Amino acid sequence: MEVFCNGVSRGVILPCAGLRLRRPAREVFAVRIREPGEKAPRDLFFPGAGWNRIATAGGHIPVWVHNDHLRPFSLEMDQGSTRDGRRLLATLLYDISLPLEVKIGFSKTGTRMHREGEWVFQQLASREAGKALSVSLGDVTLVAGNVKRWLSGEPGPAASIHATRLLHLTAVAGRPFTLPAESCREWYTGPVSGGEVAAEALQFDVWSQTPQELIRQLGPGPTAVLVVLDRASILSGLGPAGVRTRMHSYNRALTASGSAILVLALGPELDLTVPLERRYAEEFIRISEESGCPLLDLRRIKR
pLDDT tens digit sequence for 222-279: 999 999 998 877 877 778 888 888 898 898 888 888 889 999 999 888 888 888 888 8
Beta partners for residue 8, in sequence order? 5
> What percent of the chain shows pLDDT beyond 90?
28
| Mean pLDDT of the region 141-170 | 70
User: Would you say residue 294 has pLDDT above 70?
Assistant: yes
Residue 16 neighbours by CB under 8 Å, 6+ apart: 30, 31, 32, 43, 67
pLDDT band at 113, cuts 50/70/90?
A: very high
| Between 172 and 102, residue with greater pLDDT | 102
CATH 3.40.50 fits 73-152, yes or no: no
Considering the chain, tell me which residue range(s) the CATH 3.40.50 domain(s) occupy. 157-297
User: Would you say residue 8 has pLDDT above 90?
Assistant: no
User: What does the pLDDT read at residue 39?
Assistant: 78
| Mean pLDDT of the region 58-84 | 82
Mean pLDDT of the chain: 83
Residue 103 neighbours by CB under 8 Å, 6+ apart: 109, 132, 133, 134, 135, 136
pLDDT band at 153, cuts 50/70/90?
A: very low
Considering the chain, tell me which residue range(s) the CATH 2.60.40 domain(s) occupy. 73-152
User: What does the pLDDT read at residue 159?
Assistant: 44
Q: CATH top-level class for 157-297?
A: alpha beta
Tell how far CA 154 is from the center of its chain: 23
